[in-house]
């Protein structure tokens, strides 16, 4: 905060407060407002003009260039004696109508803002001699400018309008004029017209406007304008020495109004320059997203003109433009097209991922959705995981891990964090270790990179750490932990196999015993084996064998088996009891038929046994033999 405003006030009424890091007008100005004639507030961070403005009724000049103004307060109407107002390099979008009530204004500059229109009330600035509104977004030039009879300087270049009002011929005092359209004539004329040569061209412009007006036209288009000022016959498809059309030149210059005018006039949209670039790709290259969007809307061919980038999609990915990427993918461009280095869109994305991780995450998800090859290698045999490690893109590695998780749910292959690439077969962990990047090494280990993998030279990642003791110790410890884990896993696996083998052996012994007891007609021994066994499958088949003796003495065991909690044993007992009942009440049936009937529906089904024994050990099979 400025300690004393009055100390900056000169005897002539000049108050200079430039470069004071101000965010608003100091309130102390109000106490000396009657003495301030010129106020210089350049190069601050002022976002708005507060009510202090209304007290500056004696102000003649106000300089607010290079601030952060988004709006102008209506209080500006209080500056009734203001002659000079400079608002260049701010963020203004609209202008208040009250501004055009300042009839004393002679100079108004609005260069490099975002103003979209001048209201008809601009005609109220009767004493205006200089109007600079270049490098804005004016959609049209108001007819009311013709009312500014004292206007000598008019700068209109760098806007978005495509038509000029013929009423400009009424500006008879105009001696300095700027418009980028002049540069597209043959030969090109200067953008800014001044001095005697400029005045002659301005006179020619007045003549063009007057002729068009006499023909009943209120506006002049770009094509008629350029033809008028060209000495040679103007061909809209003409190319220069670099094979560039007027559209290419307009895109490179950022002349959006000219771009729209050329498109409307039928300029070729898909011509390629000497570098193989289309106008659309050049717009992306120059970060002119507005021009790129305009060309998309004009049905430019998006599949050609990628030049060294391979395709427009690759370039849009590099520029971190998810909306454009979505449009290009929807238009049919392949996410696996490559640039001059062999990089796919995904590889290009990984190299710049951390610069704008939120936008690039959206782009990455879209590329995966449209079938990007996650492990494709470039000309140097590096894949996405290698480039992420090489460029230290931690956010990219974390995104890859998340992507792998989602793809795993769909049973799809993800990024291979252990793939070997380059001339020496390095993994991403080798690369991170070699660069001494501890953080990247930790993240790679956490996502599953193996520290024990060797490259083609027989070196593990710790061997490429180039004397970085912290990394060497960390990777050595991780490598030992992995080795110990493998050994423990191997031991546990052997123990499980032995345990399973023991179980199988026990079950086989029990089957052999019950089979032998049956063969030797030892019913009581079968009943004892039933009591001793803990396996429900063995017990159910023991019940089955006991029932084949067809003795009433077996009933006690069968009733007991019927009360078993094991469904398999219970069902077998019920079936056995029914079998014995049939035996006593159907004596006419032969033993063979009874056996055949009994063998048809055994309760202990084979799938239950396969977990423990081979098919040949099934009692039913043995009995059938």
Residues 554, 548: Cα–Cα separation, whole Å:
10
Per DSSP, helices labelled H in 92-194 are none
Residues 80 and 104 sit within 8 Å (Cβ to Cβ): yes
May I ask the CATH class of domain 1-91?
Answer: alpha beta
Residues 199 and 206 sit within 8 Å (Cβ to Cβ): no
DSSP 8-state code for residue 118: -
Which pLDDT band, with edges at 50, 70 and 90, does 589 fall under?
very low
Residues 275, 253: Cα–Cα separation, whole Å:
17
Could you tell me the residue ranges of all domains in the chain? 1-91, 270-470, 508-624
Residue, of 125 and 451, whose pLDDT is higher? 125
Please report, rounded to a whole number, the percentage of residues in the chain having pLDDT higher than 70: 87
Residues 173 and 146 sit within 8 Å (Cβ to Cβ): no
Cα–chain-centroid distance for residue 517? 74
Q: Look at residue 498 in the predicted model and tell me its pLDDT.
A: 53
Listed residue (154, 163, 147) closest to 131, CA to CA: 154
Residues 412 and 369 sit within 8 Å (Cβ to Cβ): no
Mean pLDDT of all residues belonging to the chain: 86
Query: CATH for 270-470, among 3.40.1280.10, 3.40.50.10470, 1.25.40.20, 3.40.50.300?
Result: 1.25.40.20
If you average pLDDT over residues 170-199, what whole number do you get?
A: 95
Residues 178, 156: Cα–Cα separation, whole Å:
6
Residues 561 and 530 sit within 8 Å (Cβ to Cβ): yes
Listed residue (149, 145, 156) closest to 178, CA to CA: 156
Q: Indicate the angle between helix axes 536-547 and 469-519, nearest 10 degrees.
A: 10
Q: Is the pLDDT score of 446 beyond 90? A: no
Q: Is the pLDDT score of 134 beyond 70? A: yes
Residues 158, 5: Cα–Cα separation, whole Å:
38
What global pTM score does this model have?
A: 0.69
3-state SS, residue 522: coil
Per DSSP, helices labelled H in 23-168 are none
Residue, of 149 and 575, whose pLDDT is higher? 149
Q: Is the pLDDT score of 31 beyond 50? A: yes
Residues 126 and 103 sit within 8 Å (Cβ to Cβ): yes
Dig out the tokens for 182 from the structure: 């002049």
Residues 537, 123: Cα–Cα separation, whole Å:
103
What is each CA distance from 16 to 8, 50, 234, 243, 574, in whole angstroms? 6, 18, 51, 52, 108
* Cα dihedral 69, 74, 77, 79 in deg (nearest 10): -40
Q: Is the pLDDT score of 447 beyond 70? A: yes
pLDDT digits (tens, 9 = 90+) for 421-437: 999 999 999 999 998 88
If you average pLDDT over residues 109-126, what whole number do you get?
A: 96
Q: Which residue has the tokens 């219970």?
A: 570
Dig out the tokens for 1 from the structure: 């905060």
Q: Look at residue 256 in the predicted model and tell me its pLDDT.
A: 93
Q: Count of alpha carbons within 13 Å of 303, Cβ hemisphere only?
A: 5
Q: Indicate the angle between helix axes 256-265 and 222-229, nearest 10 degrees.
A: 90
Which pLDDT band, with edges at 50, 70 and 90, does 486 fall under?
low
Dig out the tokens for 250 from the structure: 């307009």
Q: Which residue has the tokens 């291979």?
A: 416
Residues 587, 213: Cα–Cα separation, whole Å:
124
Listed residue (234, 313, 307, 314) closest to 272, CA to CA: 307
pLDDT digits (tens, 9 = 90+) for 279-337: 999 999 999 988 999 999 999 999 999 999 999 999 999 999 999 999 999 989 999 99
pLDDT digits (tens, 9 = 90+) for 370-427: 999 999 999 999 999 999 999 999 999 999 999 999 998 888 899 999 999 999 999 9
Cα–chain-centroid distance for residue 203? 52
Which pLDDT band, with edges at 50, 70 and 90, does 506 fall under?
low
Please report, rounded to a whole number, the percentage of residues in the chain having pLDDT higher than 90: 62
């Amino acid at each position: 905060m400025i300690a004393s405003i009055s100390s900056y006030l000169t005897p002539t009424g000049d108050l200079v407060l430039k470069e004071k890091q101000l965010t608003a007008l100091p309130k102390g100005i109000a106490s000396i407002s009657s003495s301030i004639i010129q106020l210089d507030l350049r190069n601050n961070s002022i976002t708005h003009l507060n009510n202090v403005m209304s007290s500056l009724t004696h102000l003649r000049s106000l300089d607010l260039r290079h601030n952060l103004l988004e709006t102008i307060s209506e209080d500006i109407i209080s500056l009734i004696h203001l002659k000079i107002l400079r608002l260049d390099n701010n963020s203004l979008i609209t202008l208040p109508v009250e501004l055009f009530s300042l009839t004393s204004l002679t100079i108004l500059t609005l260069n490099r803002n975002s103003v979209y229109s001048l209201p008809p009330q601009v005609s109220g600035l009767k004493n205006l001699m200089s109007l600079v509104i270049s490098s804005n977004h004016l959609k049209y030039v108001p007819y009311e400018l013709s009312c500014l009879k004292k206007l000598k300087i008019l700068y209109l270049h760098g806007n978005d309008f495509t038509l000029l009002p013929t009423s400009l011929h009424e500006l008879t005092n105009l001696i300095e004029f700027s418009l980028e359209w002049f540069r597209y004539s043959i030969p090109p004329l200067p953008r800014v017209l001044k001095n005697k040569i400029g005045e002659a061209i301005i006179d020619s412009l007045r003549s063009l406007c007057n002729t068009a007006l006499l023909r009943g036209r209120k506006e002049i288009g770009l094509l008629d304008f350029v033809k008028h000022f060209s000495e040679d016959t103007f061909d809209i498809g003409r190319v220069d020495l670099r094979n560039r059309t007027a559209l290419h030149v307009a895109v490179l210059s950022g002349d959006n109004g000219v771009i729209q005018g050329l498109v409307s006039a039928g300029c070729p949209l898909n011509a390629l320059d000497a570098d193989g670039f289309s106008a659309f790709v050049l717009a992306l290259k120059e970060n002119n997203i507005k021009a790129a969007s305009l060309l998309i809307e004009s049905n430019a061919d998006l599949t050609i003109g990628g030049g060294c980038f391979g395709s427009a999609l690759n370039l849009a990915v590099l520029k971190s433009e998810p909306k454009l990427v979505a449009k290009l993918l929807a238009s049919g461009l392949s996410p696996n097209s490559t640039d001059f280095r062999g990089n796919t869109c995904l590889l290009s994305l990984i190299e710049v991922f951390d610069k704008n991780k939120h936008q690039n995450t959206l782009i990455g998800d879209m590329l995966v959705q449209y079938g990007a090859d996650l492990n494709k290698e470039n000309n140097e045999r590096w894949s996405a995981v290698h480039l992420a490690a090489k460029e230290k893109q931690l956010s990219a590695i974390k995104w890859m891990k998340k992507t792998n998780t989602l793809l795993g749910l769909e049973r799809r292959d993800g990024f291979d964090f252990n793939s070997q690439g380059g001339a020496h077969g390095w993994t991403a962990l080798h690369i991170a270790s070699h660069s001494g990047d501890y953080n990247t090494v930790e993240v790679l280990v956490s996502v599953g990179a193996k520290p024990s993998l060797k490259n083609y030279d027989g070196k593990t990642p710790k061997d490429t750490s180039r004397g970085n003791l912290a990394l060497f110790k960390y990777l050595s410890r991780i490598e030992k932990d992995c080795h110990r884990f493998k050994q423990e896993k191997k031991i546990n696996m052997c123990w499980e196999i032995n345990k399973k083998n023991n179980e199988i052996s026990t079950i086989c012994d029990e089957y052999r015993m019950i089979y032998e007891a049956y063969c030797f007609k030892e019913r009581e021994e079968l009943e004892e084996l039933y009591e001793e066994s803990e396996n429900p499958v063995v017990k159910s088949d023991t019940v089955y064998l006991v029932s084949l003796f067809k003795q009433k003495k077996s009933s006690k065991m069968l009733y007991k088996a019927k009360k078993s909690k094991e469904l398999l044993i219970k069902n077998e007992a019920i079936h056995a009891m029914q079998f014995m009942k049939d035996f006593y009440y159907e004596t006419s049936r032969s033993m063979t038929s009874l056996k055949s009937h009994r063998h048809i529906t055994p309760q202990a089904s084979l799938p239950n046994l396969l977990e423990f024994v081979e098919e040949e050990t099934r009692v039913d099979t043995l009995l059938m033999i």
